[in-house]
Amino acid sequence: MSIIEKAASKLEQRATVISSPETKVPDPVQEPSTAPLDEAQPPLLPSGNPFPEISAEQKTAETSATLFSKIDLEHLRQLNIVTPAGEYSLTAEEFRMIKRPLLNNAFSGEKKLKNSNLIMITSALPGDGKSFCALNLAISIAMEMDRTVLLVDADVSKPSQLKLLGIEAELGLLDLIQNPELSLSKVLIKTSIANLSLLPAGKPTRNATELLASEAMAHLLDDLAGRYPDRLILFDSPPLLVTTESSVLSTHMGQVVMVVDAASTTQPTLKSALTLVQHCGYVGLIINRASQHLSLGAYGYGYGYGYGYGQQA
């Protein structure tokens, strides 16, 4: 019995196991951010709700005013990332299976979870491939006929989604929280992949945890969750055991997906990480780098595929 199986058999039955694909691609090395940190005093956060209820006209304005970036699909294929109209691949098939319970929970669950369309993708420690999984999951969901996806790069200390997608941006999530005059339409990037938009991390700041825990962030998340009834918002979040940002963010999430490295994640590590998200209504596990099918008992099924991605994600 593997380490992950032992861990799963002893953890609470809140977690639901889902699968990861078998691919062999290198992880783009994440260099520490070289952008200058904000040396000034932390900005005063706005009181009240800086994101009031939006009219239909404002929603239309968001769609028409957002930035646009063309995505190099060949670049994604080289990283073994799912692409629309791509050839059959195990990666694509596995993420089709991974997304299904998340979609059911968000839109057709018998017991509707609060903020069920807000989904956090995280891991216990760096190097488990969470950013790769977040992007694959986002594109796979965007390929649904009647769903749109907003991918938020919430790993604000080591953001990677811009690099994976091969695009550039300056403003993002942190700027949106700090500046009530900055509209979502000024930072949201509409991509050439139909139904997929990106909200970058934004300019780094020393008080990122406080910003993510602020009232302004809570109002922003409520706005994102309710703005479009067909939209899923995926958050590529920091590892749970190396920063406090993910545990803070998880309090607003309806669903959490944790990427687990079957080759290195120990039972105590997994249990510690799951403890931090046990308040969430749904917790799913993507078992990464497993070499064989896993038998996980009450946890459902795990396919145990390993794709070898993720040194710093």
Where are the chain's structural domains? 3-21+55-302
* pLDDT score of 311: 33
Backbone φ and ψ of 16, nearest 5°:
-120, 125
* 3-class DSSP state of 25: coil
How much helix, strand and coil, in percent to the nearest 5, is found in the chain? 35, 15, 50
Is the predicted pLDDT of residue 22 greater than 70, yes or no? no
Average pLDDT in the 66-87 region? 89
Within 145-244, where are the H helices?
161-165, 173-178, 208-212, 215-227
* pLDDT score of 288: 77
Average pLDDT in the 222-238 region? 89
Average pLDDT in the 107-119 region? 81
Least confident of 77-91, 163-177, 265-279: 77-91
Instruction: Single out the residue of 218, 196, 215, 209 nearest to residue 237, CA to CA.
Output: 209
Q: Contact, 120 vs 235, CB < 8 A?
A: yes
d(CA 86, CA 79): 13
* 3-class DSSP state of 163: helix
Average pLDDT in the 250-265 region? 90
The residue to which tokens 């969901």 are assigned: 141
C-alpha separations of 173 from 69, 91, 135, 180, 263 in Å: 17, 29, 17, 12, 33
Q: What confidence tens digit (pLDDT) does each residue in 26-76 have?
A: 344 344 444 444 444 444 444 555 544 545 544 554 555 469 999 999 999
* pLDDT score of 231: 92
Q: What is the assigned CATH class of domain 3-21+55-302?
A: alpha beta
